[in-house]
Structure 1
Amino acid sequence: MPLPSRPTGRPLAVAAVALATALSAAGCGAGPAGTAGPAPGTGAKAAEKSGARAPETAEEKAPAAQRTPAPAGGTEAEWVDRFLASVEGTRKAHSVTVDAAMRGGGGGRKATVRMSSNRDKECRTTSSFGGPGTVEVLRTRDGSVYLRLNEARLRELGEADPERLASHIRTFAGRWMAGDPASAEIQQGLRLCDFRELVLASVPTRDQTGGIAAKAARTTVNGRAALRITTAKDGIGISVDFAAEGRPVLLRMEQKGGDGPFVMVFSGYGEPVRAAKPPAESIVTREAARRALGR
């Protein structure tokens, strides 16, 4: 997400690829056969409500933000200080929720995800892939991992045999499955839990922020006053919104153009992450899973 005086979209593009890879692992490998599973969640709807809309409809409907050389008439150094403080505020927050929406290049399939995580390693993600199907991943404080799919996702996975599909739905739909945290597939899916770190690793250092005030603007994110800095190069535009008042944190990021346009909205700072172990009666037993899979 570089915002130097000679802008480039490369670091943020790398972060977008990481998001796409993690989403792919969470969705394409998610199913009873891979012990991957999602839950009827609010990923796509939550993303829409929080402002993480699909990139092609992400234009702000409000009047264009008023241009200003620096926040509250301050100096460029003060603007940069606020931006870097917001990056650090997001990095140090005990918990945060990220709603993201992205498409593949050429108008490909839209993916949405809601990720809530905290410093206690608790994490909950809900992903969807252009349809009503959802995949939910839950990581508890002790590192245990559970997955859940809804019926729509089970149908999206394309089981051709009607009897097997019916068995999968009876056994797995809306119920949790224990995952092996050491498996490569689960580890890949859990990258979503650490996406905050992937993004923040891409932010510029102080000596890379020269000239950002020249493309600075005032805006709002979900009703909260924000400052926006933008950069563009090679047909890729990047914007970052951060809090103008109160606690300095990131509020929104967007990429337009390129192979993976996306929108990310940050919220829920300091709020609880509800990632307790599911009740025993809602967890599919190994025996039930083996029977449903014909093993």
Structure 2
Amino acid sequence: MASHRKLRAAAVVCAVVAVAGPAPAVAWAAAPAAVPASAPAAAPAGVRAAVQASARAAVPAWVAAAPAPAPSPDPFANLTPDEIAERAVTATQSATSLRMTGRVVADGEPLDIDFAVNDRQECTGVMKIGGGTAELRRVDDITYMKGDEAFWRVSMASQGMPEAQIDATIELVKGRWLKIAPGQAGSGDLSGVCDLKGLLADLDEDEEERTGLVRGPDREVDDTPVATLVKKKTGGETTTVSVSQEGKPYILKMVKAGGDEPGSMLLSDYDKPVEVTVPPADETVDLSKLDQSTAA
């Protein structure tokens, strides 16, 4: 499932955005950030691939949810597992907003995320990788990113930046939000992270991924009865999807165990408002003016 890589790449993109700013001579490569919203031309291909893949992760812990009595009547009683999956994908793609919480692994690196996104490309949340934490907010087409020192050190080091440049950059943007407007370096790719429709479209990218399913025991996810759909692949990889049996058949949990990219993702707060607060102006650094600030 491709979505894992979009979140993983997003973390790397945050560093790339800072490095690919307006003035090449400026050593501010690591401006603070959080969850991706758009990346520069130098960003790794598949920046969005990390985030979208998040919605289809897997870890045994999720599968261990306590079994729950099947609702009566079973809304999926006359449907095959593949038909249930088709309805679940359709319903989930119709959502106007949702919250994604969980852990995915890509390239051997675990990435924890917790963010809410709506269909107006607004989002707010937190991501953790390599012992560091970063925040992301996007509203009115403006992306704000803020990361702690550990986050930026890991991100910038992964891009091969010299230690001296990393130190100078962290000192320059310490405790501040990096403001990225449309058209600026990094804005395009990072915006994909807050593109709900784009993220959910990935669920239907490969129809073969949701065929040949088997229905497992009914369970509960946050007290909501769910139908459990399981797909096993050769090599020991197992994907488990939990579909709500109440209201719309939204996907409430996705788990991928085994394989190279295990992970788990909990989807909640469907169609609820996403409140995004714009950081105070005196706590932000405008990407377009960062080089000027350095010169000063």
- What TM-score, normalized by structure 1, do the two folds share? 0.70
1:1-295 equivalent positions in 2, closer than 5 A: 13-26=1-14, 33-34=28-29, 36-39=31-34, 58=61, 60-62=63-65, 71=74, 74-77=77-80, 82-104=84-106, 108-131=108-131, 133-140=132-139, 142-156=140-154, 157=156, 160-161=163-164, 165=167, 168=169, 171-183=172-184, 185-194=186-195, 196-202=199-205, 204=207, 212=213, 214-235=214-235, 236-284=237-285, 289-290=290-291
SS in structure 1 of the partner of residue 218 of structure 2: strand
**What is the CA–CA distance in structure 2 between the aligned matches of 1:210 and 1:175, rounded to whole Å?**
47
The alpha-carbon deviation at position 176 of structure 1 amounts to 1.2
SS in structure 2 of the partner of residue 197 of structure 1: helix
The alpha-carbon deviation at position 169 of structure 1 amounts to 5.1
**What is the CA–CA distance in structure 2 between the aligned matches of 1:73 and 1:155, rounded to whole Å?**
49
Amino acid at match of 2:146: R
Amino acid at match of 1:14: A
SS in structure 2 of the partner of residue 251 of structure 1: strand
Gaps of 5+ in 2: 20-26, 36-54
**What is the CA–CA distance in structure 2 between the aligned matches of 1:196 and 1:223, rounded to whole Å?**
26
**What is the CA–CA distance in structure 2 between the aligned matches of 1:30 and 1:39, rounded to whole Å?**
12
CA deviation profile, 1:191-223 (whole Å, cap 9, x unmatched): 322363243233639xx96764x4332011122
Distance 1:27 1:127, change over 3 A: farther
Gaps of 5+ in 1: 1-12, 41-51
Distance 1:155 1:97, change over 3 A: same
SS in structure 1 of the partner of residue 273 of structure 2: coil
The alpha-carbon deviation at position 83 of structure 1 amounts to 3.7
SS in structure 2 of the partner of residue 98 of structure 1: strand
The alpha-carbon deviation at position 123 of structure 1 amounts to 1.8
Distance 1:86 1:174, change over 3 A: farther
**What is the CA–CA distance in structure 2 between the aligned matches of 1:84 and 1:56, rounded to whole Å?**
23
| Identity, % of aligned positions | 23
Amino acid at match of 2:5: V
**What is the CA–CA distance in structure 2 between the aligned matches of 1:118 and 1:59, rounded to whole Å?**
25
CA deviation profile, 1:262-283 (whole Å, cap 9, x unmatched): 2111011122222243221221
Q: How many residues are treated as equivalent by the alignment?
A: 260
Question: Could you tell me which residue of structure 2 aligns to residue 7 of structure 1?
Answer: none
Is the 8 Å Cα contact of residues 55 and 103 (structure 1) preserved in structure 2? Answer: no
My pick for the range that moved more, 56-65 or 87-96, is 56-65
The alpha-carbon deviation at position 152 of structure 1 amounts to 3.5
The alpha-carbon deviation at position 243 of structure 1 amounts to 0.4
- What TM-score, normalized by structure 2, do the two folds share? 0.70
**What is the CA–CA distance in structure 1 between the aligned matches of 2:85 and 2:164, rounded to whole Å?**
54
